Structure 1
Amino acid sequence: MSESGFDLVVRNARVATASDCFDADIAVRNGRIVSLGSGLASGRREIDAAGRVVTPGGVDAHCHLDQPMAPPLRMADDFESGTRSAACGGTTTVIPFAAQAKGQSLRAAVADYHHRAEGKAHVDYAFHLIVSDPTPEVLENELPALIAEGYTSFKVYMTYDDLKLDDGQILDVLSVAREHGALAMIHAENADCIEWLTKRLEAAGRTAPRFHAHSRPMLVEREATHRAIALSELVDVPILIVHVSGREAVEQIRWARAHGLQVHAETCPQYLFLTAEDLGIDDSYKGARCICSPPPRDKANQQVIWDGLNDGLFTVFSSDHAPFRYDAPEGKKPGGEEVAFRHIPNGIPGLETRLALLYSEGVLGGRITLEKFVELTSTNPAKAYGLHPRKGTIAPGADADLVIWNEGEYAIDNDRLHHAVDYTPYQGMTLRAWPGMTLIGGDVVWDGQNFYPRQGRGRFLQCGRPTLRPMRSRP
C-alpha cells in the first residue's frame, strides 16, 4: 500500500456533481471515495484524467433483465450480459424488476429473481417489485415486510392484461406505500382505450408494426396520467410516473406540480431520439424493433421532452431497457413468425447507450447543463430509491463508482455494443462522447476499448426510504 494509504488516486479530474463542477483529485480506499482535493498524496494506483469530465457512475433505475416471460418469449439479456452492457456504457448500478405473476406470491417472485441474478452481475443492483396481484396476503403481510427488508419501490400497471390493476387495487397499493414509506411507480396508459382502438385496427386489417402507435395515441397516456395523479392525491402519497412520452402527459404533470402535488416523472432516450416513423412508414416488419409503450411520438414532441429535462419536470432519466432479439422466435418474431402488432413484445434495448446519448446531445448539444445530466442520470435515481449518498455522487464516503468521459466522434454500431440483442434502435447515430473509463469501487471495468469482467462481484443493495427533496406543500 502507498504511504498515504490510498488504493487509487484519479488525478486532474473535472469533477461533476448534481450541484457543482470543480477541478480535483479523487482518492479511493477500500472501494470508497475518501478525499477530494488538490495535490493529494500518491496512491498505489494512479489514473490521470487529464482534465476530462468525471461523473458519478450512472444509476439506471428502470431496466428489465431476465424477467420471466410466457413462452416462447424470452428476454435477450440476463444479469451477466445486461450488467456487462451497463458497465461499458458508464452505468454502475441497475435496478430491474422482480415481477409478480397473477396468482404468485410476491415473496416467491423476489426469491426467483435473486436466483436469476446470483453470481452473474458485474455491477451493483437492487430490485423494484412489480405488484400484479394485490391479494390481502400481499397487501397486509408480504409487501410491508419486503419494504422493511429493503425493497422500497414498486411498480403498478394501468395496462397489459397480465399486469394491470383497476383503480381500487391501485388505491390499495398506494395506501401501503404511504403507510410504509415506499415509492410507487405507475405505468400510465388507459387499457380499455388501447383495446378498443386495437380491435378496430385489426378489423380494418391494420396490423403492421406502425399501427402500434395508432393504438396508443397521446390521449390514452394523458387520461391515465390524470387518473394516476388523482389517485395519488386521494391517498396523499408521492408517485413517480414512468417513461413519460408525450406533451399531453407532460401537461398533466405540470398541472399537478403547480397544485403542490408530489408527482415525479421519468423519461427515456426513445422519446428524445425516436419518432413514430421509426415504427415504419409502410407495412414493413422492421418497425417491430422500435415497438415500446408508450410509443415514440412526432419530432415536435421531442422538444417538449427536452424542455422537461431542462426545467426540472423530469426527476430521472432511465433506459427502460427491455431487450428482445429482432430476428428470433423468442423475441420480436414470436415462434419465428411476423405477427400482428398486438403480439410483438414491447421494449427496446438502451442500457449501454443511455448516458452517452444524453451527454452528447444534451450536455454537448447545449440543451442541459452538466450538473443537470448528473442529477437526472445518477443523483436523483439514487435519492428516489434510497441509495444516496452511497450512490449517485462524488463525495467522501460514496462508493468509488466513476465515469471518465472521452469527447470526440463516436458512431453507434451494434457490433461494438455489449448487450445480447441483435440490434440497437440508434444504429448509425454519430455522438460527440462516450465513456472512456468506468470504475466500480475503484476498479477499472471498461477502458474505452476493453471490458474487464467482474462477474459475480456485483452486490445486491438494500434500499432505504426515498430522499428526494420534497416539493412545496399544497396551498
Structure 2
Amino acid sequence: MSGLDVIIRGGTVATASDTFQCDVGIRGGRVAVLGHELGPAGNVIDATGKLVLPGGIDSHVHFSQPSGPDIVMADDFESGTRSAAFGGNTTVLPFCLQEKGSSLREAVNRYHKLADGNCYVDVSFHLIISDPTEQVLGQELPALIEDGYTSFKVFMTYEDLALSDREILEVMSVARETGALVMVHAENYDAIRFLTDRLERASKTAPYYHAVSRPVVVEREATHRAISLAELVDVPVMIVHVSNRESMEEIRRAQQKGLKVYGETCPQYLVLTADDLQGLNMEGAKYVCSPPPRDAASQAACWEGIQTGVFSVFSSDHCPFRYDDPQGKLAPKGRTSFRWVPNGIPGVATRLPILFSEGVAKGRIDINRFVALTSTNHAKTYGLYPRKGTIAVGADADIAIWDPDKRVVITHDLLRDGSDYTPYEGREVTGWPIITMVRGQVVVSHGELLGTRGHGSYLSRNKSSM
C-alpha cells in the first residue's frame, strides 16, 4: 500500500481482545492499514521481537494543581507530559481544580492556559468540584459537561475539598441528568481528623503516622457510603485509588448487585507498604499519599481485584512534590507533623513498567488484560474510544513499542519529571517502552526525547461507553 507515512514492521500487536502478528501502517496521524507487505513508507520502524501496544492512557494525574499556601506541585504540563511519554503513555487526564469561592468555568480557562502549547502527549481534563454553589450546579457544570468535560471528581476528605453527603448528592444529581461520570476519593474526613488529633497529642507526628491516621476502616466506610449515595441517585460512580481488600469487596458487592460501580487501583498499592513510611528522619515523607500504602495482604487483594475485573482501570495518581524543597515534602510545617506533609507521589512514568513487570512478566495477568487496564478501559470509561485506546484502522496512531525482555533498574533520572525522587528508586523491572508515538509522531525513542512541546492536543470527550 503506497502513501504511508510510517510502517511499524515485524512486531506483535496486542489489543485488549487480540494478539496477532502484523505490520501497522500510519497515515495522517491515524492507523491506515493492518497487514503484511505494506510497501514503502517515509519511515519504517523495525519492531521485530517487540510488542506493539496502544499507548498508555493515564486517567488519574495531577499537574500544576493548587496545593495550599507555599506548596508547589513539582510537575507542570511540560514536565508532566514529557515524563508520561517516557513511560509509554500517549494520553493523560489531569484534574482541573475549582478552588472554593471561584468559578468552575474560570478554573477551566486557567487550566487551558497552563496546558496550551506545553504538552508532549494528548490531554483531557476532569473537573474537581469543591464548591457546588447554585451557579455551579445549575449552569456552569451542565454547560461544561455539554462542552466535553464529561467526568468530575468529588472528595470525601481534605480541608477545602471535602463535600458533605448532601453536597455529593446534589452533584451526583447533575451527573444523573447529564450523563456524566462521578469519580470519588473515598476517605472519611472526620475520622481522619479525629485520629490525627489523637496521634499529635501523643507526639506521634513522624511521616509513618500518616498511614496510622488513615486506616482501612476510614476508606472502607467512605467507599460504602459513596456507593450508597450513587445508588440512591442511580448514577455511575468510579471509586479511585483503592488500596485494600475491604474497599475492593464493597465495590465487588455493588457490581454483583448490578450497580454501575467501577474501581481503580494504582502501582503504590501493589509494590509499596506502610513500612516504607518509616524512613530515617523525614525520608518517609517521600511515600506519603492518600490512601496510604498498606501491607502485603492488601497488595494481594488489589491483585485479586485486577485479575477478577473488580478494577477496570489502573492509574498512577501521579501527584508529585519535590522532596528536598521547602515548597515540597520538607515544607516547614510538614517537618512538625505528618498532617502538613503534601499528599502525593510521582508515578506517571513508572505505572506501565511496574504493572507489566509485576503482572505480565510474572504471569499474574496476560498482555490483553494489561492493555485493557492501562489503555482501552480508560478510553471507554472516559469517552475517548475508539479514537484512543486501541490499534485499529481509523484510530489515532498512539502506539508504544515495548521490549518485553528489557531489564531496567528504575532511577529518577530515567523518568524526566519535575520531581527530585521516585518512590520506586532501585526497583528492577522486566519490560520497558522503547518507543512512544503520539498520532504517528515519535515522541520518545530509546530514552531520547524526539517530540516537540506543543504536539500534544486537548481532547474534548464523549460520555462514558462502559
TM-score range, shorter-chain basis?
over 0.9
Measure how far apart 1:430 and its partner are.
0.6
From 288, 299, 315, give the equivalent of 2:296: 299
Give the aligned partner of residue 436 of structure 1: 434
State the alpha-carbon separation in 1 of the partners of residues 20 and 334 from structure 2: 54
Measure how far apart 1:417 and its partner are.
1.8
Given that residues 268 and 319 in structure 1 are in contact (C-alpha distance below 8 angstroms), is that contact kept between their aligned partners in structure 2? yes
From 369, 372, 376, give the equivalent of 2:369: 372
State the alpha-carbon separation in 2 of the partners of residues 280 and 335 from structure 1: 19
Measure how far apart 1:442 and its partner are.
1.2
Given that residues 326 and 423 in structure 1 are in contact (C-alpha distance below 8 angstroms), is that contact kept between their aligned partners in structure 2? yes
State the alpha-carbon separation in 1 of the partners of residues 221 and 102 from structure 2: 30
TM-score, reference length from structure 1:
0.96
Matched, 1:341 2:341: no
Secondary structure in 1 matching 2:10? strand
Q: Which amino acid aligns with 2:98?
A: Q
Matched, 1:318 2:318: no
State the alpha-carbon separation in 2 of the partners of residues 336 and 84 from structure 1: 31
State the alpha-carbon separation in 1 of the partners of residues 199 and 189 from structure 2: 15
Give the aligned partner of residue 215 of structure 2: 217
Q: Which amino acid aligns with 2:377?
A: N
Measure how far apart 1:448 and its partner are.
1.6
State the alpha-carbon separation in 2 of the partners of residues 383 and 456 from structure 1: 25
Give the aligned partner of residue 381 of structure 2: 384
Given that residues 58 and 348 in structure 2 are in contact (C-alpha distance below 8 angstroms), is that contact kept between their aligned partners in structure 1? yes
State the alpha-carbon separation in 2 of the partners of residues 367 and 186 from structure 1: 28
Measure how far apart 1:93 and its partner are.
0.3
Give the aligned partner of residue 420 of structure 1: 418
Give the aligned partner of residue 59 of structure 1: 57
Give the aligned partner of residue 329 of structure 2: 332
Measure how far apart 1:336 and its partner are.
8.1
Give the aligned partner of residue 104 of structure 2: 106
Measure how far apart 1:258 and its partner are.
1.4
Given that residues 76 and 325 in structure 1 are in contact (C-alpha distance below 8 angstroms), is that contact kept between their aligned partners in structure 2? yes
TM-score, reference length from structure 2:
0.98
Q: Which amino acid aligns with 2:28?
A: N
Give the aligned partner of residue 180 of structure 1: 178
Alpha-carbon displacement from aligned partner over 1:377-417 (angstroms, at most 9, x marks no partner): 00001111101111100000111011111122110011222
Equivalent residue pairs, number: 465
Measure how far apart 1:337 and its partner are.
6.2
Cα 1:337–1:191 change in 2 (3 A) is closer
Give the aligned partner of residue 278 of structure 1: 276
Given that residues 329 and 336 in structure 1 are in contact (C-alpha distance below 8 angstroms), is that contact kept between their aligned partners in structure 2? no
Give the aligned partner of residue 394 of structure 2: 397
Alpha-carbon displacement from aligned partner over 1:93-119 (angstroms, at most 9, x marks no partner): 010011001111100110111111121
Cα 1:208–1:336 change in 2 (3 A) is closer
State the alpha-carbon separation in 2 of the partners of residues 345 and 151 from structure 1: 27
Alpha-carbon displacement from aligned partner over 1:255-277 (angstroms, at most 9, x marks no partner): 11111111001000000010000
State the alpha-carbon separation in 2 of the partners of residues 70 and 336 from structure 1: 12
From 3, 6, 14, give the equivalent of 1:8: 6
State the alpha-carbon separation in 2 of the partners of residues 434 and 408 from structure 1: 6
Secondary structure in 2 matching 1:358? helix
Question: What does residue range 9-88 of structure 1 map to in structure 2 within 5 Å?
Answer: 9-88=7-86
Give the aligned partner of residue 116 of structure 2: 118
Q: Which moved more, 1:250-259 or 1:162-171?
A: 250-259
Given that residues 154 and 163 in structure 2 are in contact (C-alpha distance below 8 angstroms), is that contact kept between their aligned partners in structure 1? yes
Secondary structure in 1 matching 2:32? strand
Q: Which runs of 5+ in 1 are unaligned?
A: 469-475
Measure how far apart 1:284 and its partner are.
2.8
Q: Which amino acid aligns with 1:141?
A: Q
State the alpha-carbon separation in 2 of the partners of residues 448 and 301 from structure 1: 35
Q: Which runs of 5+ in 2 are unaligned?
A: none
Question: What does residue range 118-267 of structure 1 map to in structure 2 within 5 Å?
Answer: 118-267=116-265
Given that residues 333 and 340 in structure 2 are in contact (C-alpha distance below 8 angstroms), is that contact kept between their aligned partners in structure 1? no
State the alpha-carbon separation in 2 of the partners of residues 327 and 431 from structure 1: 26
Given that residues 156 and 162 in structure 2 are in contact (C-alpha distance below 8 angstroms), is that contact kept between their aligned partners in structure 1? yes
Q: Which amino acid aligns with 1:359?
A: F
State the alpha-carbon separation in 2 of the partners of residues 274 and 400 from structure 1: 34
Q: Which amino acid aligns with 2:298?
A: N
Stretches of 4+ moved more than 3 A in 1? Answer: none
Q: Which amino acid aligns with 1:465?
A: K
Percent of aligned pairs with the same amino acid = 57
Secondary structure in 1 matching 2:390? coil
Given that residues 328 and 336 in structure 1 are in contact (C-alpha distance below 8 angstroms), is that contact kept between their aligned partners in structure 2? no
Secondary structure in 2 matching 1:254? helix
State the alpha-carbon separation in 2 of the partners of residues 453 and 56 from structure 1: 18
State the alpha-carbon separation in 2 of the partners of residues 80 and 207 from structure 1: 35
Given that residues 441 and 451 in structure 2 are in contact (C-alpha distance below 8 angstroms), is that contact kept between their aligned partners in structure 1? no
Secondary structure in 1 matching 2:319? coil
Given that residues 209 and 284 in structure 1 are in contact (C-alpha distance below 8 angstroms), is that contact kept between their aligned partners in structure 2? no
Given that residues 29 and 439 in structure 2 are in contact (C-alpha distance below 8 angstroms), is that contact kept between their aligned partners in structure 1? yes
